[in-house]
Structure 1
Amino acid sequence: MEAPKSTLSAEAKEWYPPNYTPQAMPVYTPDPAPYRPQRFSVQDRLRQAQDQNPYNFDNMSYSLEEAENMDLRENIGNLITVMCEITFDPGKFDTLCGPLVDSFATMLHERSYTRPLIDAIINQSIGEPNFRYNGARLCSMYDSVASPEESTFRACLLERCSAEENKIISGIETSEENMRGFAMFLAEIYTQLEDSQGGRIRSLGEGLCKVLLHLLDTDNETNIKSVCQLLKLPIPFLTIS
């Protein structure tokens, strides 16, 4: 039996329902004054970042005021802008952070450049939960510029982490929110940085244990919940006794 032939045709005119009213096609008119994003000075970007989170950038702003190198001021200003953007849209990390690392790479052997960079990343990571994972990733990228034995960035990072740990243990740091934020960031750093043999950095693990025990000793329910949350992370070889 022969299959019936269709009467449909690709050449047929378009069909419209009886009550259809044709719409006029939109006409594009070029804007004589197209919109351009507003450019901000380094000082303006610092001020904007401080308005968003005053804790994050107090120390870093002081470092910038002391710095005489304008390239450093400009690079830190760019860092602030990128970190704020990644905080609200973490998916932009891969796109934005490559050029950011390149802008500092040739100067990472100088402590005067490296310390403000680390201050900015750590302060942002402490204050912004949505940035901590990417903050650790950013540190890992900067750390990979030189070998572990020759990395000024790693030396300055470990110094800053040790100083932050000592502030917590000694009671200088009184904000429990900052303590929890640093503990979470320290855990991320511990999982992402490796020593010269491909293992974990022992001093970071020891510091993390001390901070966690301090949080447990505060007898604060929120702190205890944070420790439990942190211990769910895939932290290798970390034990608390």
Structure 2
Amino acid sequence: MFKNITPSLSSPSEAGDVRSSAFNVGEPLRQPRSSPPISAASQLVHNSTSGTALISPDSLVKNSKLSAAAPEFIPSGYASYQDDVYSDGSEGQYPEATLDDFVHDFVSILTSSPGSFESEIDYITDTLNSWVNTEEILKELVELIYVQSTSIPNFAYTGARICNHLSQHIRISPPNGNFRQLLLVRCHTEFDQKDRAVRADKETQKKFHSYVLFLGELYLNLEVKTRNGTMGRADVLLGALKDLMNTLFSHPDDPNLICAVKLLKLCGSVLEDTWKERQKPDMSEIIKKIQEVVLDANCSRDVRQMLLKLVELRSSNWGRVHAASVLRDATPDNDPNYFMNEPTFYTTDGTPFTAADPDYSEKYQEILDREDYFPDTCEENGTESFCGEEDEMDPEMEEAFERFCMESESRERK
């Protein structure tokens, strides 16, 4: 790629003259005006090159003023890395973690991987037990978990499970209340603001609705000891949820109604079962209010449709399957879902039919009688295949395949 740019030479002597001129160092460079002092080692090198008497190494060591015991030399203005890391006076490589950091860490883990709750909760509880040793720290823990459970989308369920586990396993129990009692006090503080929050701006309403749904999850998951010593749900939350729904329906705009629908879909069946056991018509009263809202409230069409679907859901026992004893007595006449999971068949003319069809037996027998419905199969090398199946192509298929290959080759050559 590169051309030979060496000039042609007529004789060896001429070549020698060229080499001497090309590598001639010329006159020595001028010394700088202020040159550094020449050390003993530099003087030794200088003398060895100039041919003067050499200075022996023993004399260099003898006359040296260097000492191995001299203090470490640090240039002025130098800031060490450790000074930057530990400028706050803390000891250790990293700043000390706080309870806030730990709560955010395990909440982040459980948010991204909710299925790891069972494997992580024991470690979380043990760490918190070693951390929470005063009433103030316990109150801080309650506040942190409450804020995370009501501010992170779709974390209310996991947050309620955390609260239930910690209420049973946090060892510290100050005179002013244990974890569960402090949590309920915190929820009651928000409950007192319901009348203002339901009519506030959108951001305040959004926070209030998150609180309502978290309280519903807490009612379903928080276990407390009943009077007979068994574990049951917190009755104090039952009355609170009813009051919250009445508050939402008292100001029936779209966000409040949507929140009420979500709450009833979440725990409406459990609430009604509890009220029925205590012979209270509370759910019927709520459904009546929903019907009044559908007729009178100035809500959007979509929200009105959601309310109607909710009333329909409640009329079907909240979509729950009947008990096993009822299933055994179910017949096509008394259970509209009797044939729900039955397969669909097709007649020769393509008409679909199921087990609910009156002519099901006759049509199904016709299918079984068709000779080509279940083709004969045979096993070959441990696998099932159709008998008489040929691996080779017929002549027309072979000719078409060869033509395709030739056309493909011709296109590639172009």
TM, length-normalised to structure 1: 0.61
- 1:210 is aligned to 243
C-alpha distance in structure 2 between counterparts of 1:109 and 1:196, whole Å: 24
Instruction: Describe how 1:38-187 pairs up with structure 2 within 5 A.
Output: 74-105=98-129, 110-145=134-169, 152-171=178-197, 174=200, 175-187=204-216
1:229 aligns with 2:262: yes
Unpaired runs of 5+ residues, structure 1, are 1-69
Shift of 1:213: 1.8
TM, length-normalised to structure 2: 0.37
RMSD over equivalenced CA pairs, Å? 2.8
C-alpha distance in structure 2 between counterparts of 1:123 and 1:170, whole Å: 20
Offset from partner CA, 1:177-228 (integer Å, 9 cap, x none): 1111001100111111233212321222222222222222222213212211
Matched residues, number: 170
Check conservation: 2:164, 2:223, Cα contact below 8 A.
no
Structure that is richer in helix per residue: 1
Check conservation: 2:198, 2:247, Cα contact below 8 A.
no
1:193 aligns with 2:193: no
Name the stretch that deviates more: 185-194 or 200-209. Answer: 200-209
C-alpha distance in structure 1 between counterparts of 2:180 and 2:213, whole Å: 19
C-alpha distance in structure 2 between counterparts of 1:208 and 1:172, whole Å: 14
Shift of 1:170: 4.4
Shift of 1:172: 9.3
* CA separation of 1:173 and 1:119: change in aligned 2, threshold 3 A: farther
C-alpha distance in structure 2 between counterparts of 1:135 and 1:195, whole Å: 17
The higher relative CO (CA closer than 8 Å, separation ≥ 6) is in 1
* CA separation of 1:170 and 1:108: change in aligned 2, threshold 3 A: farther
* CA separation of 1:214 and 1:202: change in aligned 2, threshold 3 A: same
AA at the equivalent of 1:184: L
Check conservation: 2:198, 2:205, Cα contact below 8 A.
no
C-alpha distance in structure 2 between counterparts of 1:173 and 1:220, whole Å: 9
Indicate the SS of the match to 2:207.
Answer: helix
Offset from partner CA, 1:40-64 (integer Å, 9 cap, x none): xxxxxxxxxxxxxxxxxxxxxxxxx
C-alpha distance in structure 1 between counterparts of 2:133 and 2:216, whole Å: 25
Instruction: Describe how 1:20-35 pairs up with structure 2 within 5 A.
Output: none
* CA separation of 1:108 and 1:193: change in aligned 2, threshold 3 A: farther
